[in-house]
Structure 1
Amino acid sequence: MEKIEKVLASGNTHVAINRDPNAKPDALDLKLSAHGVETLEFVATDLHPRAEQLFSGAWAGCYFTVFGMVAAAKKVALPADFSVDIQTSIGSVGARYCLAAQVTVRVPGLATEVAEELAALAHQNCPYSKAVHGNIEVVTNIVTA
């Protein structure tokens, strides 16, 4: 597995439950951000994101769901403000290109050991995490405060 020497671009995705009673069903709402750019919010609109953002979005959505499933299986109640952020970066190693990712799981109030166990189980079961395992550098951060 190669580690990025120089980051060329990154895509960030934040996933949380939308509790807005006026949210449109079957609509896609995304907030995307990139280094040096303010957060862009796309609400029920056609998107033209970069590949890193699309991958981050798909992975974050899947990982968020799987994390909830493994928490339920372990009978762990997740906080209402549980969220997952994934930043996928494309970079270079010499003349070659590779990807790296940073996964941040926010579970305020949950014990760190419990959150770490759930995160590991989610990575073992999430199809995106399994696809990149051993192929790209993935750093997982757990925030319980």
Structure 2
Amino acid sequence: MAIEKSLYTATATATGGRAGTAKSSDGALDVVLTTPKQLGGDGAPGTNPEQLFAAGYSACFIGALKAVAGRQKLSLPADVSITSDVGIGPHANKPGAFGISVDMKISVPGLARDVVEQLVAAAHEVCPYSNATRGNVDVTLTIV
């Protein structure tokens, strides 16, 4: 998918793969990467690409919710939250490849469920993470 014009570009460099480091060009992100035991790592302190993806997708989707709510003249409560579970495992249709799945639990307190369902569906269409992964990642959206 192409974009018309880049409004912002994030730059980060990873060194060492899953057992290394990742740093953004502005220094705001500077993390130690480790491989979870479930993927053959030693479970050392640090983060991993799946955690970073879960945090990024959750934050971005909240931004998309705010955008679509604003277009509808709705105000979202400050305590909107999304917990994303990002799974990694063997790809079902590509032997030897890996894939990810995302299960989002979306909480929008104080709004009627039917309104939240409408906002979530619209946000899923405009969220850049949703658009980037559509057709390649199993994404489940659950309103809690």
Q: Which structure 1 residue ranges, 5 or more long, are not aligned? A: 1-25, 29-34, 36-46
1:109 is aligned to 110
Residue deviations 1:33-81, cap 9 Å, x none? xx9xxxxxxxxxxx94101011112211111111111111111221232
The reply on whether 1:64 has 2:65 as its aligned counterpart is no
Residues of 2 paired with 1:120 and 1:138: CA distance? 12
Superposition misfits of 4+ residues, deviation over 6 angstroms: none
Q: SS at 1:113's partner residue?
A: helix
1:121 is aligned to 122
1:88 is aligned to 86
Percent identity of paired positions between Structure 1 and Structure 2: 38
Which protein has the bigger helix share? 2
Residue deviations 1:1-51, cap 9 Å, x none? xxxxxxxxxxxxxxxxxxxxxxxxx977xxxxxx9xxxxxxxxxxx94101
Residues of 1 paired with 2:61 and 2:136: CA distance? 17
Q: 1:51 aligns with which of 26, 49, 68?
A: 49
Count of residues paired in the alignment: 102
Residues of 2 paired with 1:97 and 1:128: CA distance? 19
Over alpha carbons, which structure has the higher Rg?
2
Q: SS at 2:121's partner residue?
A: helix
Which protein has the bigger strand share? 1
Residue deviations 1:110-138, cap 9 Å, x none? 11111011111111111111011111111
Following superposition, the deviation at residue 96 of structure 1 comes to 3.5
Alignment root-mean-square deviation, CA = 2.5
Residues of 2 paired with 1:140 and 1:78: CA distance? 18
Higher relative contact order structure (alpha carbons within 8 Å, sequence separation ≥ 6): 1
Residues of 1 paired with 2:96 and 2:28: CA distance? 40
TM-score w.r.t. structure 2 length? 0.62
Q: SS at 1:130's partner residue?
A: helix
The reply on whether 1:131 has 2:129 as its aligned counterpart is no
